[in-house]
Structure 1
Amino acid sequence: MTHSGDREPLLRQDSGEFEGGKEEILEMFEACYMNCLKFYYGKKERFIPKAVFVVISIFSIIFAMDQYKLSMREIESKECNDPLSECENIPFKETLVSPFYNYLQDFTVSYLNEQDTVKTNWIFFRLALDMISLCLLPKVISTVGTATVCYIDDPVKFKADNRSITTETYNDRFCEKNEMKSFEMVKYYLNENFENLIVTRNPYDRFISGFTEKCVNSLDENYCHGCGTDMRCFLQKEYRRLMRMTMLFPVYTVADTHFAPQTWYCDMKNTLKNSTVVRFSLHGVEKIKMIDDMLKFFRKRGVPERQLDEIRKELTLGKNHSSTTGTALREKYEKLIREDESIRRALHRIYYYDFLYLGYEM
């Protein structure tokens, strides 16, 4: 799973004036002057007075700033300023966060020898007969999924290192070297002789899990854009950030990577229809079905029954360290979402296409 760290946001935070300051403008002038000082007319070298280039530079920068402001106004005109509100002046579908955005393209690559390490949102392993790829989505059994695949890959070494599937952590995971970034890389290294598994989660459930872990229980107040435990504040800011990403460029912070739509991951535009999809759950019969579906997938790819029995035992009895299921805190926010129509409206705007393409009811 890719953990990008909490990087400085790349998005523009407001719609104010140019924030570069005099120093940056002077640097731009100087660069323009040095690059444009000389030109040739036939074979004779001519020099243009510096003042002319300064004037040209000033007008060029002013023009660029104006174009940027116009671009931002165009973006803002298509936005719903407050995702909690009705936004009656804009058709509802135009206020939705787009699906299938190609997110998390910052990566390092290796050739997967014993010394190399790759940090990404895909994991693969080689079996004697067939191979498997598992798409890892933040807040969707990603740590446990990584550990499960790791155990299948080499159960002897996994157990010898005193590991267990449900006690693995991201920072100390056993099979980091088995990870890779893109689906194209997976196809290249596995020679297309594999099947892909995607475990999805109800968007409401995933959001609550992320919010309680990252915004409420976290010791870092900066994770959730300074909103703390204020869900309405967080939804307003995260919605704005996600909308800007689809129109400008991606941003990678802890909050963004944990709350971005599931359809933004794993190249789902191309992989969803050709993958085995399993629904995540930690409740009753739905949890049993999830485990059964995962084991059916692994069995089809040749995983021995003794390993499947161990996986079933771990997934049935164990509980991952980051799980918030069943806590009073989680129930509090579940109730808030049920009772607050404006919060549900904002969630629909962010995750509408997750509900649609992954088959969950709003």
Structure 2
Amino acid sequence: MLNLKFSWIMAIFTIFFVFTITRKAGNSEVKVVDYIVPFVNYSKMLLTAPENQLISCLIPKSMSQLTVNIMCLLYEKQEYFKNDYSLNDTWTSQRNCLEEFKFIHPLEPIQKGTVKFAFIRDPLKRFVSFYLDKCVREKHCYDCGTNMRCVVEKVYTNLKKIQNSWHGTSELGYVEQHAAPMSWNCNFHKDIESWELIPIGSDANERTIAIERLSGLLKKQGVNQTLIEKVQEGRKSGETEHSTHASNARFEAERIIQKDPYIQNLIYFFDYLVFPFTKDFKIPFTTTQYHRINHFETLYGS
């Protein structure tokens, strides 16, 4: 099923750039700006638990700290319990596993029976998390301050440069790495269909559903029940200190996005096609062009 969807995505992606794409603005037609493309081979941060034939990928602002904590638990169980680590520990907490070559460099070729998983997050909620953490809290977003449109435009400009000239050899930009589309991560351009993609959100119910799904994968890979229960209990009990999902600032950021289709679509339009999330965005095609892309609304939602 995922292979079929991937084929449709690539077909739509091709047509998107073959045809002149326009939208109505009053009585005139205006060209739509080129959206950031999917599947640029930009960032690949893999973690492995060889004993259980598990590989995970860190996607910035998509529960990446949770991923590190879970994989460290599986990789070095004794040290995890000895030091009383928590699944809610932040990036400031020391993790010896991150210094282990075997932990951050999965063996090639990947052995038969290995399961690869990644947490994925609603693209615009992920952007809001990035914006509040890196732009508002850390003040790292260029000279934009808290001007969200400025942030989007600067991120877009830099991502556009990367997609047009990326060779995988330059240093990853701090802001761009956190804001890049999810499809730019994990070597998804090669084999996205081979990954177990687990949607996860910030509220307790969304986390619980995601962890229950992960628990099934862990059980399948022979992880003992004590460790599975540690994962289940730990993630239900708290937040990391820079979590932003319940803040007034988040509600205001989401309100701004809902009113601005430009912000909604410029960077993450294709992430909503690649990954199983839906959103109420306006399709940026005329009616004729809409029919040219083979029942776009039926496949992916409007």
| Matching residue of 2:197 | 277
Larger Rg: 1
Q: Give, in whole Å, the separation in 2 of the partners of 1:297 and 1:141.
A: 17
Alpha-carbon deviation of 1:143? Answer: 1.2
Which structure carries more relative contact order (alpha carbon 8 Å, separation 6+)?
A: 2
- Scaled by the length of structure 2, what TM-score is found? 0.76
Matched-pair identity in %: 21
State the one-letter code of the partner of 1:244.
Answer: K
- Of residues 129, 138, 156 in structure 1, which corresponds to 2:60? 138
Which runs of no fewer than 5 residues in structure 2 stay unpaired?
1-24, 280-302
Q: SS where residue 267 of structure 2 aligns?
A: helix
| Matching residue of 2:35 | 96
State the one-letter code of the partner of 1:167.
Answer: D
Alpha-carbon deviation of 1:102? Answer: 0.8
Render the CA deviation track for 1:203-238: whole Å, top value 9, x for unaligned. Answer: 1110000000011011xx4x2111010001111111
Q: SS where residue 318 of structure 1 aligns?
A: coil
- Scaled by the length of structure 1, what TM-score is found? 0.64
Which runs of no fewer than 5 residues in structure 1 stay unpaired?
1-84, 105-119
- Of residues 109, 121, 134 in structure 1, which corresponds to 2:45? 121
- Describe the shift of the 1:228–1:329 C-alpha distance in structure 2 as closer, same or farther (beyond 3 A): same
State the one-letter code of the partner of 2:74.
Answer: I
- Describe the shift of the 1:284–1:146 C-alpha distance in structure 2 as closer, same or farther (beyond 3 A): closer
Q: Give, in whole Å, the separation in 2 of the partners of 1:242 and 1:168.
A: 27
Q: Give, in whole Å, the separation in 2 of the partners of 1:165 and 1:174.
A: 15
- Of residues 262, 286, 295 in structure 1, which corresponds to 2:206? 286
| Matching residue of 1:73 | none
Q: Is the 8 A contact 1:122 1:136 kept in 2?
A: yes
| Matching residue of 2:229 | 309
Give the alignment's Cα RMSD to 1 decimal. Answer: 2.6
Matches within 5 A, 1:256-275: 256-275=176-195
- Describe the shift of the 1:257–1:177 C-alpha distance in structure 2 as closer, same or farther (beyond 3 A): same
- Describe the shift of the 1:88–1:253 C-alpha distance in structure 2 as closer, same or farther (beyond 3 A): farther
Alpha-carbon deviation of 1:346? Answer: 2.9
| Matching residue of 2:19 | none
Q: Is the 8 A contact 2:132 2:250 kept in 1?
A: yes
State the one-letter code of the partner of 1:137.
Answer: I
| Matching residue of 1:208 | 128
- Describe the shift of the 1:99–1:282 C-alpha distance in structure 2 as closer, same or farther (beyond 3 A): same
Count of residues in Structure 1 that have an aligned counterpart in Structure 2: 252
| Matching residue of 1:54 | none
Q: Give, in whole Å, the separation in 2 of the partners of 1:125 and 1:238.
A: 34
Q: Give, in whole Å, the separation in 2 of the partners of 1:324 and 1:179.
A: 32
